[in-house]
Structure 1
């Protein structure tokens, strides 16, 4: 077994951290910009963003699935095949993204009414925002595919530049379009669309330069779809749980929904930061298994699990210290701040466990053990997260009850992943 030194993991994790942080950091800026318009626009942004995330969930496999498949080819010394995985994933991203735009426009009204609990002011603003933002879904999926193959071949620095350019443009546009241009909430949607379009163009250009050919290959795409089936089912389980949380929060009241949006954006930002080590694990574990080095794969699993724990503890300490200050960055509304303080203890308490979960998630995705991840996520979402959310609404537990459900979701996955990682069934060698 050849041990991977910490600097080897960090060399992949650090660029991945920047890429992962760029999008949620922009969303935090966007949330802060919209939050100063008032509670209704902030709540509408929460509804619209939840729907965008639901439709973009189909892009999970073009990113994570492509990373694992590309990494195995890379570990086996087959760079052309590794890059070709990115070509085929990009064709899938373009086709699926076009279908999702049509679906989003067709069902924008019913979906936003479902989440908002009727034709309210929140719902009407959310629908208008969503109809603009959803046009950028093909761009979102192309960026995900680009990140996937580049991580698989351990080419992690170039995505940093591409993602920062796209999201930097959007971060500048959002406040300009919302306030001086007078577009209000819609300005946020146009800024999102600009980032998605620019990002897609940059990643497609990089792929054309790296690939020997860009013709679609249906046989490879079918294989990607097999992996994608399990990753998609896993991602849908995530979204069912999170959409149920948004729906419950909206029925509790506007301050609860606005606070949930603040907490959720911070949660997603923190989760993706913790996920940087998991991205390194996907690439390194996939390459180790592709090179038939089982000992190295197991060593990496233990290593990134420890790192995930300490990273989670670090974020928990920082956010506990920011209990009073951080929510005020997003809204001056007293009622919303009160609700944010109610969810905060749950948010902080779950982070150490979440760090381990995200790290081992990367290990098992890199190993291609996506069937197990699918089943575990469905069990955690349907058996823990969603029922506690609904109970919080029925028995009036408030926004804290919703976040108790998220904590249970993490803990169920933690137990399952630790058990799996200690076994041998995920260690499958070769391409």
Structure 2
């Protein structure tokens, strides 16, 4: 049941477990962006063209990571259900199958990316001067694709077992090794952009090795075979297919938003980059609660505790609203000066300030959307999430088209209009997820969702 709004922290029975999972998850989530920022800073010392190559290759690698995030989310849901039902052995069996699926997809992605690297780099518009750097970084970094996906699946296994501390330690350790090794290879040994890529390969395989060691030790303790179970791998892939559709739909919205801003003009796309990155930074905190929701809801449903699942849902939604409200205040307070670190162009700054008004007002809604998304994911309601994401994407596309067609060139409210269209998409997501959560159709009890 919901606690009074005046209740102090941890007075509600679910606060402690939410906090225990969400806080380390937040720091684990920001470790990857920090790794990319480190690469950017180090490669930036090499010049503009290597930095441009990193930008192009980085977009390809990030797209791969985003499309395969289902390896973490799907594994968390499956393992947490088994854990809640007291079936740790079966949960680890699901986790081992998820790791094998990650290895298979990672190897296939590495081979395909290596062969198609020149086409991918060209498709992203890299110039003749930038393309060689992008291709070098991409082809070397793809050697770590299986490791990256193993890390995702391993993270899902441990979160499903209610362990958020180990993923935090691995994420921080991986980022630290990458930073130190990249600095040594690039700045001391003068290996160029290839050195930065090799640092990423070594760091990510090191992180994957830690996850494999932890999961293998747990599997042997529970007597779980390490060989792949074809039916289990197939089940993991089937669950991942729906989450793949969901992720693609989300990516389409984000790509179209960027494309519309780019077609509005140079100032608009520059301002959109800043506004979107600030919005993304805030989403990390929301996503930490969502990831905690996956583990907590899966455990309650696996234990056949419907009331516990509903009570945790209500409390986590409250957390989403409260965190979102805090972010609204912070963004509104920082809004007049938010553009200062990023641009000296008065036109770009004005566009950033106008967009951040909508960004600020969207925060409580964003908190609810992220939390409900995590709750339904933890419940294994992936098919509904896939369809909901698809239909809300379709609701957004006409709004984006109207903004593009009706906004005069150089309009001072161009980005404001675009973010209002983005707000329509967020509202559609909130409506579809809220109706599903309220219906209770996601409350399927037991160690597996049938």
Query: Which of 304, 321, 327 is 2:333 aligned to?
Result: 321
| Residue matched to 2:438 | 422
Question: SS at the partner of 2:68?
Answer: helix
| Residue matched to 2:172 | 164
Q: 1:318 to 1:47 in 2, by over 3 A?
A: farther
Runs of 5+ consecutive residues of structure 1 not aligned to the other structure: none
| Residue matched to 2:8 | none
CA distance in 2, matches of 1:159, 1:168: 14
| Residue matched to 2:5 | none
Q: Give a deviation string over 1:135-164, Cα, whole Å, max 9, x none.
A: 322121111111101111112211211111
Question: SS at the partner of 1:368?
Answer: coil
- Kindly report which structure 2 residues correspond to 1:59-70, keeping only aligned pairs within 5 A, or say none: 59-70=68-79
Q: 1:270 to 1:46 in 2, by over 3 A?
A: farther
Q: How many residues align?
A: 428
Question: SS at the partner of 1:49?
Answer: helix
Q: Give a deviation string over 1:28-81, Cα, whole Å, max 9, x none.
A: 455566678888777665544332232223422211111111011101111111
TM superposition shift of 1:391: 4.8
Query: Is this contact kept in 2: 1:64–1:365, CA < 8 A?
Result: yes
Q: Does 1:14 align with 2:30?
A: no
Query: Which of 131, 134, 143 is 2:142 aligned to?
Result: 134
| Structure number with larger C-alpha Rg | 2
Q: 1:70 to 1:190 in 2, by over 3 A?
A: same
- Kindly report which structure 2 residues correspond to 1:154-193, keeping only aligned pairs within 5 A, or say none: 154-173=162-181, 189-193=197-201
Question: SS at the partner of 1:422?
Answer: helix
| Residue matched to 2:241 | 229
Q: TM-score, normalised by structure 2?
A: 0.83
TM superposition shift of 1:125: 5.6
Q: 1:225 to 1:19 in 2, by over 3 A?
A: same
| Residue matched to 1:346 | 358
Query: Is this contact kept in 2: 1:89–1:145, CA < 8 A?
Result: yes
| Pairwise CA RMSD | 3.3
Q: Does 1:361 align with 2:373?
A: yes
Q: Does 1:51 align with 2:60?
A: yes
- Compare 319-328 and 370-379 and name the one that shifted more: 319-328
CA distance in 1, matches of 2:180, 2:66: 26
Q: 1:405 to 1:182 in 2, by over 3 A?
A: farther
Question: SS at the partner of 2:154?
Answer: helix
| Residue matched to 1:96 | 105
Query: Which of 58, 62, 73 is 2:82 aligned to?
Result: 73
Q: TM-score, normalised by structure 1?
A: 0.86
- Kindly report which structure 2 residues correspond to 1:26-425, keeping only aligned pairs within 5 A, or say none: 26-30=35-39, 46-116=55-125, 119=127, 126-173=134-181, 189-212=197-220, 213-250=225-262, 257=269, 259-323=271-335, 331=342, 334=345, 338=349, 340-341=352-353, 343-384=355-396, 386-394=397-405, 395=407, 396=409, 400-425=416-441
CA distance in 1, matches of 2:37, 2:96: 31
Q: 1:244 to 1:234 in 2, by over 3 A?
A: same
CA distance in 2, matches of 1:266, 1:188: 26
Runs of 5+ consecutive residues of structure 2 not aligned to the other structure: 2-11
CA distance in 2, matches of 1:177, 1:348: 41
Question: SS at the partner of 1:430?
Answer: coil
Q: 1:294 to 1:231 in 2, by over 3 A?
A: same
Q: 1:54 to 1:286 in 2, by over 3 A?
A: same
